[in-house]
Amino acid sequence: MPKDMRTFMDQVAKERPGEILMVDEEVDPKFEITGIASKLASQGRFPAIFCRKVKGTRLPVVINLTASYERLALAVGTSTENMVPDYANRPAAKIPPKISEKSNAPVKEIILKGGDAKMSVLPVPTHNEFDAGPYITGDTLICKDPDSGALNAGMYRIQVQKEQQLGVWMWDTHHGAHIRRRHEELGKEMDVAIAIGHHPAYIMACVSTLPGVGGEFDEAGALLGEPLEVVPAETVDLLVPSRAEIVIEGKIPPGERAFEGPFAEWPGTYVAEGEKPFIKVTAITMRKDAIYYDVFSSNREHTVLGSLPRMGVIYRTVKQYVPGVRNVNIPVHSRMYCFISIKKESEMDPKRAAMAALNVEPFNLKTIVVVDDDINVFNDAEVLWAIGTRCHFERGLTLIPSMAGPGGLNPVGYEFHPDGSKTPVMISALIVDATKPAPPIPYPPTAKVPQEVLDRLDPVRMLKEFKGFEG
């Protein structure tokens, strides 16, 4: 059985019980699906939520499926502790996609073309209070480089503007934006296909910041451990994943713009609305019982899903300069931080590691904390403890003025004026060296109970509840 979103949902239900919850009451795609997820988030809970009845359509919605590092690690067959080095090493062996027959492509069970391909068929959620309206967030947008013919796939924010019109914003440095600019230079319509709902390994491959245009389908094969099955689209000259839940096909007319936004992104704020290109929808194909996959933008899911592929690339890059790199974490709560653990060999290692990470992700990362290999980078408390006990602020903090920008998605990329206008400005970065001195300089040992004792004791077996002296 080839892997897809359904095989993954089954795997989560079996291997991580309690992490997929269902809602059988009817919910409104406007604010209610994200409302449930948001209330759970405020309690520190991030289960996948499968809403089976959604007002206005017959399609169910799953949100938060990819909202935890534990589930993403499961998707690529590893543990959270090892997911970054594993992810960094895996895509070395690319596996090209396999073209399947249309009759074997579940995404072709229903084909809507022309006037039937209307967005109101789909339960697209509206996520946050000041969003302009419904946004497709769990998409992979597939397009073709007009020069090389390479297929590129990436995840972009897509606004439902009209029944057959979608606003799309691709940031300047994204390959999709490069391909769109080339189409515009050539005065050509740009074919696009938007796949919604697939195995998280495929989605992460599309989110990876791969060097060069294209290659995401091969990377998906490497992460899935099997070729990605693809099939020709109906109305555009592209290949689409056969086992997606839904595919929307369309064309971007050159030179035309429509107002896109506002929409809350991963920093949890609104800044980047404006005139953007749009897609004219030409077809919708889907499974007969399609499940709509939504990513909770501006929430933990947005950060987590975008971060694991980046952590893999950061690890790979840091390792070129600091071979002692042990782990990398972009914490679940904010994509502006990166914690890197190293086995320190020289006093230069912390800054070289931090500089490498900043070079990979200058737009997102603002604070890089480098710690020793005895610190668990996935535990904020340990990282803060290391800053408190190992960082000499007068030389351990390095401020890099105007490292990134101007502008972007983070509000610190702007100066705001009393008349409501804003000016893009550069963003600075901070390196925090929270490492002990390099060997052979000694440093006081860390307090802990002897390992031999920890290995021997079994508190679960030994402990009973104290029920009071009367009991």
Give the footprint of Mn ion on this chain (CB under 5 A). Answer: 152, 175
75's tokens? 């998707």
Give yes or no for a contact between 282 and 289, defined as CB atoms under 8 angstroms apart: no
Task: State the number of CA atoms in the 13 A half-sphere of 453 facing the CB.
Answer: 3
Using the minimum distance from each CB to Mn ion, give the nearer residue, 123 or 309. Answer: 309
Using the minimum distance from each CB to Mn ion, give the nearer residue, 34 or 152. Answer: 152
CB of 292 to Mn ion, least distance (A): 25
User: What does the DSSP 8-state code read for residue 289?
Assistant: T
CB of 154 to Mn ion, least distance (A): 6
Find the radius of gyration of the CA atoms of the chain. Answer: 24
151's tokens? 């297929």
Closest to 80 in 3D by CA, of 294, 329, 252, 397: 329
DSSP β-bridge partners for residue 341: 327, 371
Peptide bond into 406 cis (omega under 30): yes
DSSP SS3 for 336: coil
Using the minimum distance from each CB to Mn ion, give the nearer residue, 175 or 198. Answer: 175
For the stretch 300-312, what's the b/e string if a residue is b when 16 or more beta carbons lie within 10 angstroms of its beta carbon? bbbbbbbbbbbbb
Closest to 192 in 3D by CA, of 179, 202, 203: 179
User: What does the DSSP 8-state code read for residue 54?
Assistant: B
Using the minimum distance from each CB to Mn ion, give the nearer residue, 240 or 355. Answer: 240
Using the minimum distance from each CB to Mn ion, give the nearer residue, 179 or 247. Answer: 179
Using the minimum distance from each CB to Mn ion, give the nearer residue, 204 or 286. Answer: 204
Peptide bond into 262 cis (omega under 30): yes
Give yes or no for a contact between 20 and 50, defined as CB atoms under 8 angstroms apart: yes
CB of 153 to Mn ion, least distance (A): 7
Give yes or no for a contact between 228 and 241, defined as CB atoms under 8 angstroms apart: yes
End-to-end CA distance of the chain: 56
Using the minimum distance from each CB to Mn ion, give the nearer residue, 30 or 174. Answer: 174
CB of 178 to Mn ion, least distance (A): 9
Give yes or no for a contact between 123 and 59, defined as CB atoms under 8 angstroms apart: yes
CB of 409 to Mn ion, least distance (A): 19
Using the minimum distance from each CB to Mn ion, give the nearer residue, 218 or 294. Answer: 218
Using the minimum distance from each CB to Mn ion, give the nearer residue, 181 or 280. Answer: 181
CB of 176 to Mn ion, least distance (A): 8
CB of 309 to Mn ion, least distance (A): 11
Using the minimum distance from each CB to Mn ion, give the nearer residue, 140 or 307. Answer: 140
Closest to 54 in 3D by CA, of 36, 31, 28: 28
Separation of alpha carbons 106 and 248, rounded Å: 14
Give yes or no for a contact between 107 and 286, defined as CB atoms under 8 angstroms apart: yes
CB of 174 to Mn ion, least distance (A): 8
**Cβ count near 77 (within 10 Å):** 13
CB of 209 to Mn ion, least distance (A): 8
Return left, alpha or beta for 390; rule: phi > 0 is left, psi -120 to 50 is alpha, else beta.
alpha
Element holding 382 (H helix, E strand): helix 380-390
Closest to 51 in 3D by CA, of 127, 123, 131: 123
CB of 219 to Mn ion, least distance (A): 9
Q: Which residue is nearest to Mn ion (CB)?
A: 175
CB of 171 to Mn ion, least distance (A): 12
Using the minimum distance from each CB to Mn ion, give the nearer residue, 175 or 344. Answer: 175
